[in-house]
Every structure is written in C-alpha cells, then in structure tokens.
Amino acid sequence: MTLFDDSLTLLQTLVRNACVNDLTPDSGQEVRNADSLEEFFSAEIAAGRDSGAVTVQRLEPRPGRTSIIVTVPGSDPDAEPLTFLGHTDVVPVDAAHWTRDPFGAQIEGSGADARIYGRGTIDMLGLTAPMAVVTREVAREALAGRPPRGTLTFVGVADEEARGGLGAKWLSAEHPEVLDWRNCISETGGSHLPVADGSDAVVVTVGEKGAAQRRLHVTGEPGHGSQPWGRDLTIARIAEVARRIAAIVPAVSQDPLWSGFVTAFRFSPEIQDALVTAPEEDDYLAFTDLARYAHAVSHLTVSPTVLSAGKAINVLPSSAYLELDIRTLPGQTDEDVDAELRRALGDLADEVEFERLICEPAEVSPVDSALYEAVAKTVGEFFPDAAVVPVLSAGGTDLRFARRLGGVGYGFALNARERSLAVINAELHSHDEHLYLEDLRLTVEAYRSLVARFVG
C-alpha cells in the first residue's frame, strides 16, 4: 500500500462515520472518527507504548465529542516541532439536493478526472486523512530507530465547525500542554490563482478574518394588529435599520496581504491601482470567479442574517432584533465596528441597542517564519514556476488558537493546476462535495515532503 492508498482508504472511513456537527452540544459524535484513527495507529501505538516512541491521548469535554492526539517525539529537544491540526467533524447536508450518498465516499471517474464524493472530502477530512497517514509513516520510522529531529504531532480535533468550543478552543484553554502549538498546519491553501498573464501562483493561508457578531435591538409601540394607525411600528423601524446596515460600504483594506493578493494577478496598472486604493463595486469583476472572495478579504463585511420580530399575526410587537455576521480585518477592533454601525444608522443610532455576541480578533501569522519558508519550498518542489501568495481566509479555522498561544499556523494542502481558489471555495459546504484523487495524492506527498524538510 502506498501513502496515497492509505489516505484514500482512511478518508473513506472518516466520511462514512458521518460525524455531523449541527452546532448543538451532542451532535458531531467525533468519537467515531477518533476510534477509527486510533485503530489506524493501533500497531504503532502498541509498539511504542513501552519506549514512548509513539503516544496517543484522547480527550473529550462532553461525551462523544472526542479529540485524539498522536505524538512522535523528536530526538532533538531544541528542534522545531510540527503539528498537523485536522478536524474530524463535518457540516450537515441537505440530502434532497445531493445526487450521491453524502456519506457513501463513492469514487467516480478515472485518471485525472477521478474523484471521491462525500461530506467533508474538502472540508477537511481530505486533509485530515493524509495528515494521519504521514504521521503514521514517521511513527514507523521512529520505531525502526529513525525518529524525527523535531516532534511531530497529529491532532484529530472535534467541533471545528462550531468554532471549536468543544474542540481546539477547549483544548487550548483547558489542556494546552497536550500538543505543541508553536508550528501548526491546517486548512486550506494550496490552490491556484488565475493570473492574468497565464503564469501560475499557489496560495498559502496565513490568517483569517475576525468575528464581531452583533444583535441590534429596537423597540416600538405594541398594540392590536387591527389598529396600526398612528403607532410607532417596531417592524418598520427594524426594516429601516436593516436597510441602512445593508448599504454600508467600508473602506478597502490597507493591509499588505490585500495589496500582495492584487499584485499576484498581474492586472494592468490601472486596475491594480484602483483595487488597492479605492475600488468601485465593478472593479472586483476583474477577479472573475473570485470576485466575492476578493471583496470579502479586502473589507470589513457586515451581513444581516437573522431577523426576529413578533409571535402572533394579530399583535403589533414591541421589540425586534437583527443579527449581523460581521467579519473584521486585521487590526480592526470592536470599537471600530460599533463606530461603523453607528455611522450607517445615522439618526437612528441612539434608538438601537447594540448587543455583542461572538467577538474574536483577526489572526495572522508572519511570512518570515521557518515554517512558512518550508511550506513555500515545498510548493516550489511540486510547482517550480509558481509564485507563492499568502492570503487571508474569509472564514475561521482552528489555527487561530495556535496563534493566540504564540505559535504560527498556515493553511496548506496542494491541488492540481486546474483547481483554482475559486473552485475549492465553491466546494466548501456544497451539495455533492467532492475531492479529486489527484489532489489527495499531491497533498499526501506534499505533507511528507514538508515533514522531511521541517522536522527531519
């Protein structure tokens, strides 16, 4: 069996375990994937039990919400460690819109067109499986008397899809000592950019936007629905709040990550200058399929997502609220967000109560670290002519917990040239989610190369 064969077999098992996280505390049941991963490592764990060459730990803050940590200690305590941070939960599916069994791990096609269908194949079981496979390979070498120079750790972590409250967030707060957070690899990265002149560029995710969720409350005059005349209608007020919020146009990012992303496309000087300084909405069309992503990573984004008012059709409600999914750029604070909202609301601002929900700052790792250099060299090994472009994720990953503990973290896998960043983004949480087997092969080979390069 090759590393690719092992990765594919393990991926099918993880998909079929259907560890669906619907954001409720007892969903997920990642214990099924933890059991499968422990079985995958069972021979190495047993052989290393007395020598300590391979160790395993399982932790769960709630029954069934299990994370598993497999460690291969390094021979040099001063060498840099490496941690693969893979999550084992997946998001729910709308089965009526799938044309394949979401948890069947069905393989279709052949050659470069071969692909595996199933929830989590892209996000992120298709990365978690090769992470485990490479770690087991290193564990076997350690048991044969050839340990890595630096410690290698694999983590199959629970609850990433619910922002890590029962997974990486809990581990980092309650048991930070069970794994080394200094150098972490997780999702996603490794896809390609459609550069204007036809040259190649591969992205590495170095950070992610923050969260500044808000619930905006308004009040009005209650009464019977049959007599609305002359009343201060709560529904009308919350509707106007929503309209003004939806019209927000924040300033474009001044972060080097944005200007570097624009430069990587090699647009004309006029388009590049407009995008970096003061882009109009239509300017983003230059990114074609990446326009929505480009807009998201270049601005504070404010998305009205939940509206609640009233319970009975014949009663004028006295209160209503609007929930906002707000994603911040590096350096933006909660105070900056509230100021932006107040500007948008204008004369209504004093009539709206702001409630802060989940608030987390944007997190970014530097591009001058030893791990980033090793990742860039690994990309160059497989795509020698490609530029390596650091990018910001519009969503969230478990890497933010490593960064908060002083470590660096990068989203890295590897995709074939045909798989652009837009193609990979479109697969995230999609119907008929699927992974090309060529990308699985590239990823496991890239991880093996990165491990050899970074921990020896």
The mean pLDDT of 45-70, rounded to a whole number, is 94
Q: What percent of the chain has pLDDT over 70?
A: 100
pLDDT in tens, 403-426: 999 999 999 999 999 999 999 999
Q: Are residues 331 and 395 in the same domain?
A: no
Burial of 390 (0-12, 13-18, 19+ CB in 10 A): buried
**Whole-number pLDDT of residue 330:** 95
The mean pLDDT of 380-386, rounded to a whole number, is 97
pLDDT in tens, 289-313: 999 999 999 999 999 999 999 999 9
Show the tokens assigned to 145: 């008397």
**Whole-number pLDDT of residue 383:** 98
**Whole-number pLDDT of residue 1:** 78
pLDDT band of residue 433 (cuts 50, 70, 90) is: very high
**Whole-number pLDDT of residue 141:** 96
Instruction: From 360, 381, 415, give the residue that closes a domain.
Output: 360
Q: Are residues 231 and 218 in the same domain?
A: yes
Total of domains in the chain: 2
Asked whether residue 201 is domain-assigned, the answer is no
Instruction: From 325, 342, 360, give the residue that closes a domain.
Output: 360
Instruction: From 335, 360, 385, give the residue that closes a domain.
Output: 360
Q: Which residue has the tokens 């014949």?
A: 314
pTM equals 0.93
Q: Are residues 108 and 246 in the same domain?
A: no
**Whole-number pLDDT of residue 49:** 83
HSE, CB side, 13 Å, CA atoms: give it for residue 278: 0
With H, G, I as helix, E, B as strand and everything else as coil, classify residue 94: coil
Domain span holding position 276: 209-360
Residue 379 per-residue DSSP state: H
Q: Are residues 321 and 389 in the same domain?
A: no
The CATH number of whichever domain residue 282 belongs to comes to 3.30.70.360
Asked whether residue 204 is domain-assigned, the answer is no
The mean pLDDT of 230-251, rounded to a whole number, is 95
Q: Are residues 354 and 376 in the same domain?
A: no
**Whole-number pLDDT of residue 51:** 86
The mean pLDDT of 159-172, rounded to a whole number, is 95
User: Which DSSP string corresponds to 186-229?
Assistant: ES----B---TTS--EEEEEEEE-EEEEEEEEEE---EETT--T
pLDDT of residue 349 exceeding 90, the answer is yes
pLDDT of residue 50 exceeding 90, the answer is no
Q: Are residues 65 and 176 in the same domain?
A: yes
Q: Are residues 240 and 311 in the same domain?
A: yes
**Whole-number pLDDT of residue 142:** 95
The CATH number of whichever domain residue 124 belongs to comes to 3.40.630.10
pLDDT of residue 48 exceeding 90, the answer is no
